[in-house]
Amino acid sequence: TLASALDALARGLRSGASLVAAVSEAGDAVRGAVAVDLQRVGASIERGQPLTAALGEWADRRQRASVRLAVGALVLAAESGGAPARVIEEVAGSLRTRLQVEGEARALAAQARLSAVVVGLAPIAFLGLTSITDRRNAEMLFGTPIGVMCLVIGLGLDAVGAAWMHRISESVAR
């Protein structure tokens, strides 16, 4: 939503609106938390607060990297002049790219979690299958000390591997 709001803001600037008016229009062009935040910024400006201060309060309220990036671009546009629409569009594009990368990382992490489940359950399924199809395997595995030891060590290693894969896939998802 923030990228869409920045696009709306840039369109407003390209059509000749001031930065203050473009911020208010962008708040009306989107929905959700970003709309509420931009409307709050607009209301602060209407009460006489400078644009940069109102934007700074927004960044303080929403402790997110994307909001800080957007606020930085807007403050830069307010203080330096130049071609603010282009800078704001670039920030919107950067936010979209970041969202795509995060989505891809989540998808890959989901695939890794599924692979971990398959790899973790395959030995257990094989154990069950061989125990059912050949009674001697079950008797050796469950009826002898070395079989029980192999079973415990194998299940322990399987649990360690599952925990390890879970930790790896969760670190990628963040």
Answer left, alpha or beta for residue 16, where phi above 0 means left and psi between -120 and 50 means alpha: left
* Predicted structure pTM score: 0.65
φ, ψ of residue 63 to 5 degrees: the values are -75, 70
Instruction: Kindly give the parts of the chain with pLDDT less than 70.
Output: 81-82, 172-174
What is the rounded distance in angstroms from the CA atom of residue 22 to the CA atom of residue 5? 10
What is the rounded distance in angstroms from the CA atom of residue 79 to the CA atom of residue 10? 16
pLDDT digits (tens, 9 = 90+) for 141-170: 899 999 999 999 998 998 888 888 878 777
What is the rounded distance in angstroms from the CA atom of residue 86 to the CA atom of residue 15? 13
